[in-house]
Amino acid sequence: MSERDPRDPVAMLAAMLDGDRWLNAEACAIFVGAVSTRAFLERIACKPGFPRPNRATGRPVWKRSEVDEWMERGRTTRAA
């Protein structure tokens, strides 16, 4: 795993070359089971310990593998 700042465009490119996928807010909301993108952003993405988004593209995107690891640690809650 890269030790680079997750907001670094180089880190984003390195992850893409490793085959990792990036999720935009809508896709990440669906992935974690939130009922809406707004609920995801307000109730899940801002939680301590949730992976930090990469904003190199101008919009926040999350590394799928990091979100998956976060969910496996049992820190996800279904947003209503």
Q: In Å, how far are 5, 15, 18, 80 from 22, measured between CA atoms?
A: 15, 9, 12, 24
Q: What is the mean pLDDT of residues 11-25?
A: 72
Structure tokens at 55: 């904003």
Considering the entire predicted model, what is its pTM?
0.68
Label residue 43 by pLDDT band (50, 70, 90).
very high
> Mean pLDDT for the chain?
79
The domain locations on the chain are 9-72
